[in-house]
Structure 1
Amino acid sequence: MARSSDSNFFLAIVRDKTFQAREIRRVIMLTFIYLAITTALVGVFYHQMLGRLLDGMAPLLFVSEDMALANEALPTLSDVLGNWLIAMLLVNAGITIMLGIFITRRLGHPILAIKRSLREIGDGNLDVRLRESDKNEFGEIAGELTDAMRSVREQIRAARAGINQVGELEANAGNAEDINQALSECRNALDYFQIDRPSSSANDDSSSVNQKAA
């Protein structure tokens, strides 16, 4: 059985131009923008605080001797704040990376797997299975899709068996009743798909036309 999965998942995220991949990239981009804005605001705040201390505009919380000691300690305080900003940047970057990995693995991977399986089905591969172990909406969608494909395979198998039976009956000069029975079974299997069933909108349009004609 083929299994729908993406080995190069992160490469597919970068190359894929579909709506789902774009949304994931937008979430990651917004996270980095938030990181940059937060870091810039904190840096501006502490820069202004240091400027106020240097200009003597801070509240008079110290006596003159303490202010002299504070002025001597300002270079060291600046280094401490710089190191603190770097540490905060690294922590935020780590959180951002973990958040991005969580989003892409929890949302992007199932979406791309479902998309790939649908593409394989469109190419004629009806032997596709999706992972159903996820206890979320994607797991339910995968289960429904797997059940639908199982029903389609069973009906196609029944139609193929009916066609093979007709061929065998014709080769063995079977009677018309047996051939008609095999054709009826094949027709019943194909009627399962209901591809010619009119839509509700078409029924509404036809009923309105009939009313106008009456």
Structure 2
Amino acid sequence: GTRIWNYTTGSAVASSPAVADGIVYVGSNDNNIYALDAAMGTVVWNYTTGGDVVSSPAVADGVVFVGSYDKKMYALNATSGAHLWSYTTLDKVISSPAVADGTIYFGSYDHLVYAVGASSSSPQTYEVLFAASGLPQGTSWTVTFNGQTKNSTSDTMVFNVPNGVYSFAITSPDDYTAFPSSGTVTVNAANVYQQITFTSTIQDFPWLLVVSLSVGAVLLALAITAFV
């Protein structure tokens, strides 16, 4: 046969490819799952896991299922590569999944065979932790995140969301400003830490101290004079 194209990954490829709707899906020992255009060999998307991907993907109903050495079975959107959910076992997953009647079947090095619902699994969520500094203990502050508003008098506030890009806004207590006061955070298969620093808007005026010292000196002088 004549070679049409080849694509170089970052390490060995032990995974067997799956082909669906003109896209080739294959894993690599560089921790990635690749989606390649079947005609051209160009990358459509790639998704990075936490370990080698020796497992061969299975594609069903627009979802790619594939295991990784990081102990997880992944479900990825076949078109975009977006992380839909993952299921964690007790050891690496090099088994190639089989899909039938809405269920994924696969094995793990933990000696177990798993049957997991292909579409019933809820998307995995991750923590977005907001940490405040600069406020007196017990001061209330407010975060609006992904349409949800929370108040807290502690130093931290936590939200749980699946992968995505989310906006936030901070409501400062009286006499304080927050930095940043708004912005976005990106959740990509990991917890996110967002520091919020509060600064007092009340300024200390040195001349008040000078006046106070001057008045004190005058009063002291008068007291000494009266005593003499």
TM-score between both structures, scaled by the size of structure 2: 0.20
Max Rg structure: 1
Larger RCO (CA within 8 A; separation ≥ 6): 1
Name the structure with the higher strand share: 2
Name the structure with the higher helix share: 1
